[in-house]
A and B are shown apart, each in its own frame.
Chain A
Amino acid sequence: MDWGTILSNTLTAFIGVEAVVYALAAIGLNVHFGYTGLLNFGQAGFLAVAAFGLATSVATFGLPFWVGIGVGVLAAIVLALLLGAPTLRLRADYLAIVTIAAAEIIRLVLRSVTFKDTFGGSDGISAFADDFYALNPFPEGSYEFGPISIRNENQMWVLTVGWVLVLLCCLVVWALMRSPWGRVLKAIREDEDAARSLGKNVFSFKMQSLVLGGVLGCFGGFIFAIANQSAQPDNYSTELTFFAYTVLILGGAARVFGPVIGSMIFWALLAFTDNFLNGLINAGYISGDILNNTQVGQVRFMLVGLALMLLMIYRPQGIFGDKRELAIDAR
């Protein structure tokens, strides 16, 4: 078994593009679910409209890259308003139903044959981020930081921008959640009637939260699309949302760095189990009759699921959560 490779791959996944994308998606979800108590099950939709807002603007309509970014952010804001207007006055579960359906509708429209000329059908759109890579200050070559190895200068550039974005988003969340604005969101999470009785316009605050979380999440969609120079509709399925929730709960909801650490650990754990199991099979420790290399991709999710179950049993508040908060259940 090559422990060096396993360690290197694990640590590389720790700071990899997936970790960035899911951290951003989960930071947005944290604003929705962790702080405001909004059950948004359609976070994938926000990433999808951002990715395709960018990709379509540039590749289909020939607009400049930065206009594409603007279109993507605008699409996320419009999506939040559309989802929120009918549902935020209703009970929490209606938002969950509407968002999960809306995200699927978006994905199916994007991959539909009817709009193949615009969105590229199920193949999606590629090659739209040249302007972004043109700004790359890193010289050509691969980059090594101890056991972490980054394939080339483009990946280095994406990761740098990605992690700066993650830190900026965390800064925004931190600044807002210590402010009176954040306090109202938390009050709405606890009991919206109490917030109403104290003169807070609950609907407006929920809408602001939905828009903010959607916009933070949509940066994940940009990074996802830019890193691969491709936007594929099926990358934005419900699985993305559920992974983002996993990441959020793993790290600890309603904590600024919870989603970031959660995302890093989640992807490192997946990379580790993948590499470790393959290593065991290749070295003959596990017989091919029991498990072969192609099955590892599925089995690693089972193992990570098991690890998450153990976490929920022994540390239900997540890695960063505050147990005091969890112990109280007044209702």
Chain B
Amino acid sequence: MPAEATTTTGDPVVPGSRREAALRALADVPQEPGSKKPDPIVIVDDMVRRFGGLTAVDVRHVEIQRGAITALIGPNGAGKSTFFNQLTGFDQPDSGEWSLNGRSLKGAKPYQVARRGMVRTFQLTKALSKLTVIQNMLLGATGQKGESMLAGMFAPLWRGQENANTDRADELLARFKLDAKREDFAGSLSGGQRKLLEMARALMVQPELVMLDEPMAGVNPALTQSLLGHVKALREEGMTVLFVEHDMDMVRDISDWVIVMAQGAIIAEGPPHSIMANQTVIDAYLGSHHDEPLAPEDESARIAEDEAADGRGVLDAESGQTEDQP
């Protein structure tokens, strides 16, 4: 597909949009692992995590560009989720330095990371089933006076803030088309709706950096476009997005920059169209006997072939569900 080489997506790049700004900022960045970005929000140095004899993560240097959508891809077991957990404080690496907006995040607890402006979602959606949708949303608001035990007993102390938060939550619910489900238990939502809820809830924290762990996993195709739209909207609002994904169509469609991991290390970086053609990446995914880039039409056929040949689907989104979980 020759079109792939010039544009990353079917959408035209709107002049003056944040997307254009992000693409322009990343245009001169060298396409090599660990390259310096003009305005990094996250910088990671020498992060190593070992589980017994297995080195799950060994990242020398990586920077995430502010205001862009960065995809983190890699074959199963590449250490993407572990890396994600380390950035967000859910797992502590054995060594290394990493910072958000220039302030070190080393040793920060997950809740401290979230309060600093880096909020994550989960591969297996964590909707709080027995709370209603609106309660899920309200939980995300930060700095709530009513979350102190003593103040909580006296409603007048927190009611004003609660009402303001509720208004904000209702706006987000409307935007994510969940307003009709406002009073339903989150457990009664479909898989895709839960993904939407989790994303909307993360926005209640008012993050600078949104970390999405496989936002498309288990989502009904009918909801895919809507989810993609929401992710793009985050960038237009000035947020930075880092996401892990197996769905190559999504990566191609929405990301401004792609970071590829394999066996715990960053092996390639670059804009999506060049990454798809990068020989190192193809080798990492498919083994070195595959010597040509895959067009999307061929992709599923190739996967089927591969599965028939060695009994496993390498690019299969579903199979990534459990393997990366710590």
Interface residue ranges, A against B (CB under 8 Å):
172, 175-176, 178-184, 186-187, 189-191, 193-202, 208, 212, 324-325, 328-331
Complexed CA–CA distance, A185 and B146 (Å): 12
The one of A180, A186, A191, A201 that contacts B111, using a Cβ cutoff of 8 Å: A201
Cross-chain contact A176 with B131 (CB below 8 angstroms): no
Say yes or no: A190-B128 contact (C-beta < 8 A), given A184-B139, A198-B205. Answer: yes
Cross-chain contact A179 with B155 (CB below 8 angstroms): yes
What B residues does A191 contact at CB under 8 A? 126, 128
Complexed CA–CA distance, A196 and B88 (Å): 10
Please, could you name 11 A-B residue pairs with CB atoms under 8 Å apart, sorted by A? A176-B153, A179-B151, A183-B135, A186-B130, A190-B128, A190-B129, A193-B90, A197-B122, A329-B129, A329-B187, A331-B129
Closest to B204 in A: A198
User: How many chain B residues touch the partner (CB < 8 A)?
Assistant: 44
Contact with A along B242-261 (1 / 0, CB 8 A): 00000000000000000000
CB distance from B47 to the nearest CB of A (A): 20
What B residues does A208 contact at CB under 8 A? 149
Cross-chain contact A181 with B128 (CB below 8 angstroms): no
Say yes or no: A325-B152 contact (C-beta < 8 A), given A190-B129, A197-B119, A202-B111. Answer: no
CB distance from B210 to the nearest CB of A (A): 11
What A residues does B135 contact at CB under 8 A? 183, 186
Q: Which 10 A-B pairs have the closest CB atoms?
A: A328-B187, A181-B152, A179-B152, A180-B146, A199-B114, A194-B126, A190-B128, A196-B110, A330-B129, A199-B115
What B residues does A196 contact at CB under 8 A? 90, 109-111, 114
What B residues does A172 contact at CB under 8 A? 153
CB distance from B25 to the nearest CB of A (A): 28
Say yes or no: A198-B155 contact (C-beta < 8 A), given A180-B147, A180-B162, A330-B127. Answer: no
Find the residue from A172, A183, A184, A193 having the highest chain B CB count within 10 A: A183
What B residues does A195 contact at CB under 8 A? 139
Interface residue ranges, B against A (CB under 8 Å):
88, 90, 109-112, 114-115, 119-122, 126-131, 135, 138-140, 142, 144-149, 151-155, 158, 162, 185-188, 201-202, 204-205
Cross-chain contact A193 with B158 (CB below 8 angstroms): no
CB distance from B14 to the nearest CB of A (A): 32
CB distance from A28 to the nearest CB of B (A): 15
Complexed CA–CA distance, A194 and B153 (Å): 24
Cross-chain contact B185 with A175 (CB below 8 angstroms): no
Find the residue from A195, A200, A212 having the highest chain B CB count within 10 A: A200
Cross-chain contact B129 with A180 (CB below 8 angstroms): no
What B residues does A178 contact at CB under 8 A? 155
Complexed CA–CA distance, A202 and B111 (Å): 8
What A residues does B187 contact at CB under 8 A? 328-330
Complexed CA–CA distance, A328 and B130 (Å): 7
Known: A187-B128, A191-B128, A194-B128. 16 other contacts (CB 8 A): A179-B146, A179-B151, A180-B144, A183-B138, A189-B130, A190-B128, A190-B131, A197-B121, A198-B140, A199-B205, A201-B109, A324-B185, A328-B129, A328-B185, A329-B129, A331-B129
The one of A181, A183, A186, A187 that contacts B149, using a Cβ cutoff of 8 Å: A181
Cross-chain contact A190 with B130 (CB below 8 angstroms): yes
Closest to B188 in A: A328
CB distance from A255 to the nearest CB of B (A): 13
Complexed CA–CA distance, A184 and B142 (Å): 12
Complexed CA–CA distance, A318 and B126 (Å): 26
Cross-chain contact B131 with A183 (CB below 8 angstroms): yes
Cross-chain contact A181 with B147 (CB below 8 angstroms): yes
Closest to A331 in B: B129
Complexed CA–CA distance, A176 and B296 (Å): 54
Cross-chain contact B153 with A193 (CB below 8 angstroms): no
What A residues does B202 contact at CB under 8 A? 197-198
Cross-chain contact B147 with A198 (CB below 8 angstroms): no
What A residues does B151 contact at CB under 8 A? 179, 181
Find the residue from A182, A194, A198 having the highest chain B CB count within 10 A: A198
The one of B130, B188, B201 that contacts A198, using a Cβ cutoff of 8 Å: B201
What A residues does B129 contact at CB under 8 A? 190, 328-331
CB distance from B183 to the nearest CB of A (A): 11
Cross-chain contact B138 with A198 (CB below 8 angstroms): no
CB distance from B182 to the nearest CB of A (A): 15
Cross-chain contact B152 with A182 (CB below 8 angstroms): yes
The one of A183, A197, A324, A329 that contacts B120, using a Cβ cutoff of 8 Å: A197
Cross-chain contact A183 with B139 (CB below 8 angstroms): yes
Cross-chain contact B154 with A186 (CB below 8 angstroms): no
Closest to A196 in B: B110
Complexed CA–CA distance, A100 and B201 (Å): 37
The one of A176, A187, A197, A324 that contacts B152, using a Cβ cutoff of 8 Å: A176
CB distance from A144 to the nearest CB of B (A): 38
CB distance from A200 to the nearest CB of B (A): 6
Cross-chain contact B138 with A180 (CB below 8 angstroms): yes
Closest to A171 in B: B153
What B residues does A200 contact at CB under 8 A? 111, 139, 147
Closest to B125 in A: A330
Closest to A200 in B: B111
Closest to B154 in A: A175
Say yes or no: A175-B110 contact (C-beta < 8 A), given A193-B122, A198-B140, A330-B129. Answer: no
Closest to A182 in B: B152
Closest to B114 in A: A199
CB distance from A297 to the nearest CB of B (A): 39
CB distance from B166 to the nearest CB of A (A): 11
Find the residue from A180, A187, A194, A325 having the highest chain B CB count within 10 A: A180
CB distance from B138 to the nearest CB of A (A): 7
Cross-chain contact A181 with B130 (CB below 8 angstroms): no
Cross-chain contact B88 with A197 (CB below 8 angstroms): yes
CB distance from B322 to the nearest CB of A (A): 14
CB distance from A85 to the nearest CB of B (A): 16
